């Protein structure tokens, strides 16, 4: 099975985000970048499918030079090959990213395209669907269970309050959700082996962004909490506040 996994490099989940002075971008100077955690599920699923069906796993990532580190992390988990679509920066428009990835994916004759259901930085969660559209392939996303039998795909996806079971044929695009599997740790040997795998570089065929970031804002400062009482008598007031002020129930 010839599998492509599209991965994104994102800031570490523990990053304290700082904005640039014009508030149009995130200041990257102190950021520790990692492989997007949802993409780790995609890599793991690809490796498991390769273990059962044979074949090859190719990692594809788009972005500036620093994304090579995320590519190496995916290779260290056990992927076979990698392509880096070189761009000056990560585009802010997922449509532009999907277009460039689709151009590359068309040339690879892949049976399956896996990726995380979303990236933890910009949270667009659009890429699996956009890729399906651009490649004319079935796309199933937020997938928590994947079975492939011949070219028959059965995918279980999370929907509001239930799971939906979807079938389609290969080739297909699958967006991985947490719960699909437990990603393996890169082993010491894997990390050293990944160093020796050449990463093929190609210019990213990026169309102009159609989305423009107007500005980023920090979340509002948390205000002080309120104690409404210390006995059961306070429950009605607590319920009222949770409903009317906090609007959480």
Partner 1 sequence: MFTGVDFFLIDDLLSEEERKIRQTIRQYVDEKFLPLAAEYHRKADFPLSVIPELGALGVLGVTIPERYGAAGLNHTIYGLAMQELERGDSGLRSFASVQGSLVMYPISRYGSETQKQLWLPKLASGQAVGCFGLTEPDHGSDPGGMLTKAVHTADGWLLNGSKMWITNAPIADVAVVWAQTEQGIRGFLVEKGTPGFRTQTIKGKFSLRASLTGELIFDDCLVPEANLLPEGKGLRAPLSCLNEARYGIAWGAIGAAMACYEEALDYAKNRIQFGKPIAGFQLTQHKLVEMLNEITKAQLLNLQLGRLKDQGKAQYYHISLAKRNNVDQALKIARSARTILAANGITDEYQTIRHLLNLESVFTYEGTHDIHTLIVGEHITGMGAFR
Interface pick for partner 1 out of 74, 101, 135, 186 (rule CB under 8 A):
186
Distance CA 2, CA 46 (A): 9
Task: Work out the angle at residue 74's Cα, subtended by the Cα atoms of residues 69 and 75, and round it to the nearest 5 degrees.
Answer: 90
Q: How far is the CB of 196 from partner 1 (least distance, A)?
A: 10
CB 50 within 8 A of CB 57: yes
SS3 206: coil
Binders in 9-68 for partner 1, by CB under 8 A: 14
Q: How far is the CB of 228 from partner 1 (least distance, A)?
A: 24
Alpha carbon 85 to its chain's center: 16
User: Should residue 224 be labelled a site residue for partner 1 when binding is judged by CB under 8 A?
Assistant: no
Interface pick for partner 1 out of 50, 72, 84, 157 (rule CB under 8 A):
72
Q: How far is the CB of 217 from partner 1 (least distance, A)?
A: 26
Q: Which residues contact 103 (CB under 8 A, 6 or more apart)?
A: 205
User: Should residue 187 be labelled a site residue for partner 1 when binding is judged by CB under 8 A?
Assistant: yes
Closest by CA position to 91, among listed 140, 124, 58 = 124
Nearest residue (CB) to partner 1, 164 versus 182: 182
Using a 10 angstrom Cβ sphere, with 0-12 exposed, 13-18 middle and 19 or more buried, the burial of residue 231 is exposed
Nearest residue (CB) to partner 1, 17 versus 213: 17
Q: How far is the CB of 187 from partner 1 (least distance, A)?
A: 4
- Compute and round to an integer the Cα radius of gyration of the chain: 21
Going residue by residue from 83 to 112, which x/- string records binding to partner 1, judged by CB under 8 A? ------------------------------
Interface pick for partner 1 out of 86, 170, 191, 238 (rule CB under 8 A):
191
- HSE at residue 51, side-chain half, CA atoms within 13 A, is 8
Nearest residue (CB) to partner 1, 74 versus 137: 74
Nearest residue (CB) to partner 1, 195 versus 222: 195
Cis omega (within 30 of 0) on the bond before 162? no
Binders in 103-162 for partner 1, by CB under 8 A: none
Interface pick for partner 1 out of 17, 51, 185, 234 (rule CB under 8 A):
185
Interface pick for partner 1 out of 48, 145, 184, 202 (rule CB under 8 A):
184
Nearest residue (CB) to partner 1, 159 versus 188: 188
Residues in contact with partner 1, total (CB under 8 A)? Answer: 15
Q: What is the 3-state secondary structure (H, E, C) of 127-194?
A: HHHHHHHHHCCCEEEEEEEEEEECCEEEEEEEECCEEEEEEEECCEEEEECCCCCCCCCCCHHHHHHH
Instruction: Name the site residues for partner 1 (rule: CB under 8 A).
Output: 14, 69, 72-73, 76, 184-192, 195
């Amino acid at each position: 099975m010839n599998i492509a996994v599209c991965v994104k490099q994102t800031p570490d989940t523990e990053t304290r985000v700082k904005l640039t002075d014009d508030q149009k971008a995130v200041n990257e100077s102190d950021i520790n970048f990692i492989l997007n955690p949802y993409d780790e599920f995609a890599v793991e699923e690809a490796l498991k499918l390769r273990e059962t069906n044979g074949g090859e796993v190719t990692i594809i990532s788009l972005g500036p030079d620093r994304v090579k580190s995320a590519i190496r992390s995916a290779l260290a988990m056990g992927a076979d090959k990698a392509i880096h679509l070189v761009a000056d920066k990560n585009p802010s428009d997922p449509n532009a990213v999907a277009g460039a990835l689709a151009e590359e994916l068309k040339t690879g004759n892949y049976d399956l395209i896996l990726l995380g259901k979303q990236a933890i930085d910009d949270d667009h969660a659009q890429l699996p669907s956009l890729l399906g559209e651009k490649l004319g392939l079935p796309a199933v996303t937020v997938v928590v269970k994947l079975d492939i039998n011949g070219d028959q795909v059965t995918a279980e996806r999370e929907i509001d309050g239930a799971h939906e079971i979807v079938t389609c044929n290969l080739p297909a695009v699958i967006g991985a959700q947490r719960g699909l599997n437990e990603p393996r740790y890169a082993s010491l040997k894997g990390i050293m082996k990944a160093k020796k795998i050449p990463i093929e570089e190609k210019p990213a065929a990026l169309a102009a962004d159609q989305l423009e970031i107007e500005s980023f804002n920090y979340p509002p400062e948390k205000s002080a909490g309120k104690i409404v009482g210390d006995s059961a008598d306070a429950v009605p007031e607590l319920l009222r506040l949770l409903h009317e002020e906090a609007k959480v129930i």
